[in-house]
Chains A and B, each alone.
Chain A
Amino acid sequence: MEPLFAILVGALFTVAFYLFLSKHVIRILMGAAILGNAVNLLIFTAGRVTREVPPVIGSGSDVLAAGAANPLPQALILTAIVISFSFFAFLLVLGFRAFQKLETDRSDEMRLAEPVSDPSPPLGY
């Protein structure tokens, strides 16, 4: 199971970074969404993906049976999912507002904060 997931995670990272290379904010946004999921899947896979050993502590025992999935990475991604979702929501609104106000969604046309023809500082007193 894990090798399959590892390949999937790699594919998701590739797609995310390919989308980040785009000039369109909407594609970068999709890249951000995919990147967040890729990381979550990565951590999930790192905590073992298994159905054979139930993650239940049997009677007379205080620890999980060997080979059971580690619950901590799953707890970590719960946090990470919430964070990446809220970030994505913020970025979506930010990207949309930028599109409305700047009337472009191409990052190379967003030169308002750094104008192309910024005057040089005075060279003499």
Chain B
Amino acid sequence: MASQSAPLVDLSAVYVTGPVAAADWLVAAPVVWCILVGAVLVMLRKNTRVQPLIAIPALGVLVLMTLALVWHVIANGTVTMTMGRWLPPFGISFTVDLLGAFFAATASCVALAAGIYGRTDVDDSGRRYGFYPFLVLIMAGILGAFMTGDIFNLYVWFEVLLISSFGLLVLGSERAQLDGGVKYAFLNLIATTLFLVATGYLYGLFGTLNMADIAVKASELRGTAPLMTLVTLYLLAFAMKAAAFPVNFWLPASYHTPRLVVSALFAGLLTKVGIYALLRILGMLFPFEREALSLVIAIVAALTMILGVVGALAQNDIRRALGFLVISGIGVMMAGLALGSPAGLAGAIFYAAHSMVVMTALYFAVGIGARLGGGFELTRAGGLYARSGLIAALTLVLFLSVAGLPPFSGLWPKIMLVKASLDVGAWWLAGAILVTGLLTTITVGRIWVLAYWRPAPGEAGEAAAATPLPVGATVALAGLVALSVAAGVWPEPVMALAQDAARGLLDPSAYVQSVFPAEASQ
């Protein structure tokens, strides 16, 4: 070295020097695990018998990892891990707070159920197309999105989950799948591109992509025109991902076309990633701008929930009706975001977790019903109660849960949201939530009466009467129903978790301190 001049920048402030605590590895472990298992499953693509034997235990391990992460976060607060020994904001941080950990654990449970259900629903050809690798890799994308603390990295995880979802959606390349796939793929591509545009501008404004860094710096630019534009662009991009009203038409066009287990997984998880991003970016990073947009978000929310459920009322195909109910639920979550109060955000978080479990389980229930001989069309379905009382009962629980009736998990978040709306005098938003509940009850009640209660029309049912109940699928369904019932009759822990997560969003100081421990202590 020619010049021995002392460095002008203190490099020790840039690199991590000490070792990472063992428990903190939990932050990166779920994503790394998913990618590794996905790689193994891709290699075993042709070995259709072995795939579920690897994928299902791997997803079980994933559930344990994410539960351990929730426990770790509850015990020690937000945890951060920065890649490549860089210190934030230079390296990409994974920052897991209660919100991310809670969503990650719920999503992992849903994925495990989907893996088990997939054993009966996806045949050998579907497995050769790569159902299990895609399932595990889409989980890498979803968990990465829930855990990352860097906005550009969030974009990358969105793309990971999107490309895996394309693979799952066109699994089998049937005509209807290609039709739905075209609409799904193009509109989602536009949404993520808008997200990228906004992120490019964001870097231009702040000079950083680290969320904690942005949360600190956002107050300097509060309410300026570029930031306002940027946040509106984020709102549009994520509303498109979440299927909020004016930009939701890709969802009913595509969600009923793939294999049933894929529909179930999408309905449970994909739109909720959009909601998560809205909560994280509008709720935590730019609360001031969210406040300015709250009327717009509230109107979008009310229209989404009402038009969603009206769409569901008009459907003959049960899967399409469920697709519209997914949209309606997104409206309820957006209402919580529009309110922005601790109770409102907590309600939205609780409702999102409820919706992940219940929507997936609903698709499972409808799929088992169709397998037992009911089919998906209301005009021809019937007699399912006579065929299997168990399935009819589990389905009824889910129907009551999605409508928000006691004692199941849909009730409590709706109560929280209605109360939060009335607290700020938004009686029309509270009214929209209640009317949506009523219309949902009518929709699902009619499905239950026609497909389950009514005797099977003609001899169509008798041929299928001998079909045995698929055991694995029923276990997956029962597990998710048990989660919904547990959260319904014993809501305190979930409610407390959601409230803590909402507090963490509204006051990101713990989040910031986790990423920048030195600065906060000064």
Interface residues of A (CB under 8 A from B): 20, 25, 28, 32, 35-36, 39, 42-43, 46, 59-63, 72-73, 76, 79-80, 83-84, 86-87, 90-91, 94-95, 97-98, 101-102, 107, 110-114, 118-122, 125
**Residues of chain A with a CB closer than 8 A to B253's CB:** 113-114
CB distance from A66 to the nearest CB of B (A): 14
* Segment touching A, from B29-37, B76-84, B185-193, B472-480: B185-193
Cβ contact within 8 Å between A98 and B379 = no
Q: Are A102 and B179 in contact (CB under 8 A)?
A: yes
Query: CB distance B180 to A83 under 8 Å?
Result: no
Contact check, B182 vs A62: say whether CB atoms are below 8 A apart: no
Across the interface, B182 reaches (CB within 8 A) one of A72, A80, A94, namely: A94
Can you offer 15 A-B residue contacts whose CB atoms are under 8 A? A39-B193, A46-B201, A59-B5, A60-B3, A90-B163, A94-B185, A97-B173, A98-B179, A102-B178, A113-B253, A119-B316, A119-B379, A120-B316, A121-B313, A125-B450
Interface centre among B166, B181, B314 (most CB of A within 10 A): B181
Assess whether B203 is in contact with A72, with CB atoms less than 8 Å apart.
yes
B170: A residues at CB distance < 8 A:
94, 97
Contact yes or no, B316 A83, CB < 8 A: no
Q: How far is the CA of A61 from the CA of B252 in the complex (A)?
A: 58
Q: Select one of A97, A101, A121 contacting B378, CB under 8 A.
A: A121
Given contacts A76-B203, A122-B378, contact A113 B8 (CB under 8 A): no
Docked-complex contact A63 and B8, CB < 8 angstroms: yes
Contacts of B183 in A (CB 8 A): 107, 110, 113
Taking a contact as CB atoms under 8 Å apart, the answer to whether B156 and A79 are in contact is: yes
B197 interface contact, C-beta 8 A: yes
Query: When the two chains form their complex, are residues B203 and A110 in contact, meaning their CB atoms are under 8 A apart?
Result: no
Residues of A within 8 A of B7 (CB): 62
Instruction: List the B side residues contacting A73 at CB < 8 Å.
Output: 200, 203
Check: B350 CB closer than 8 A to any chain A CB.
Answer: no
Task: Tell me if B163 and A87 are in contact (CB < 8 A).
Answer: yes
Q: Which of A39, A63, A113, A121 has the most CB of B within 10 A?
A: A113
Contact indicator B182/A107 (Cβ below 8 Å): yes
A98 to B450, CA, bound (A): 35
By the criterion of a CB under 8 Å from any partner CB, how many residues of chain B are at the interface? 51
A20 in contact with B3 given A119-B379, A122-B378 (CB within 8 Å): no
Decide if A39 touches B173 in the complex (CB within 8 Å). no
Q: How far, in whole Å, are A72 and B348 apart by their CA atoms in the complex?
A: 35
B347 CB to nearest chain A CB (Å)? 31
Which residue of the partner chain, among A39, A60, A97, A110, contacts B200 with CB atoms under 8 Å? A39
Query: In the complex, which residues of chain A have a beta carbon less than 8 angstroms from the beta carbon of B254?
Result: 113
Residues of A within 8 A of B186 (CB): 20, 28, 32, 91
Q: Is the CB of B197 within 8 A of A59?
A: no
Contacts of B181 in A (CB 8 A): 94, 98
Residue numbers in A under 8 Å from B3 (CB-CB): 59-60
**For B163, what are the chain A residues with a Cβ–Cβ distance below 8 Å?**
86-87, 90
The docked-state distance in angstroms from the alpha carbon of A42 to that of B7 is 34
Contact A122 B178 (CB under 8 A): no
Chain A nearest CB, measured from B134 CB (Å): 13
Contact present for A112 and B200 (CB under 8 Å)? no
| B159 close to A83 (CB less than 8 A) | yes
Counting residue pairs across A and B whose Cβ atoms lie within 8 Å, the total is 119
B74 on interface, CB distance cutoff 8 Å: no
Taking CB atoms, residues of chain B closer than 8 Å to A36 are 193
Among B152, B257, B314, the one with the most A-chain Cβ atoms within 10 Å of its Cβ is B152
Cβ contact within 8 Å between B175 and A76: no
List, in ascending order, chain B residues with CB within 8 A of A42's CB.
197, 200
Q: Evaluate contact between B197 and A39: CB separation under 8 angstroms.
A: yes
B172-222 interface with A by 8 A CB criterion? 173, 175-176, 178-183, 185-186, 189-190, 193, 196-197, 199-201, 203-204
Given A113-B257, A122-B450: A39 and B196 interface contact (C-beta under 8 Å)? yes
Taking a contact as CB atoms under 8 Å apart, the answer to whether A46 and B200 are in contact is: yes
- Give complex CA distance A32, B200 in Å: 18
Which residues 312-344 of B have a CB within 8 angstroms of A?
313-317
A65 to B170, CA, bound (A): 51
Establish whether residues A125 and B200, one from each chain, have CB atoms under 8 Å apart when the complex forms. Answer: no
Q: What's the nearest-Cβ distance from chain B to residue A123, in Å?
A: 9
Q: Are A112 and B203 in touch, CB under 8 angstroms?
A: no
Q: How far is the CA of A7 from the CA of B162 in the complex (A)?
A: 31
B454 proximal to A (CB < 8 A)? yes
Using Cβ atoms and an 8 Å threshold, which residues of chain A touch B179? Answer: 98, 102, 110-113
Residues of A within 8 A of B257 (CB): 113
Choose from A80, A91, A107, A122 the contact partner of B189 (Cβ within 8 Å): A91
Q: How far is the CB of A2 from chain B (nearest CB, A)?
A: 11
What is the bound-complex CA distance between A16 and B315, given in angstroms? Answer: 34
In the bound complex, CA of A39 to CA of B379 (Å): 48
Nearest 10 A/B pairs, CB to CB: A43-B200, A46-B204, A98-B178, A113-B180, A112-B179, A62-B9, A62-B8, A113-B179, A121-B378, A121-B316
Of residues 1 through 33 on chain B, the ones whose CB sits less than 8 Å from some CB of chain A are 2-3, 5, 7-9
Tell me the nearest residue of chain A to B187, going by C-beta. A20
Q: What are the interface flags for B417-447 relative to A under an 8 Å C-beta threshold, 1 for contact and 0 otherwise?
A: 0000000000000000000000000000010
Closest B residue to A60 using CB positions: B5
Q: How far is the CA of A79 from the CA of B218 in the complex (A)?
A: 26
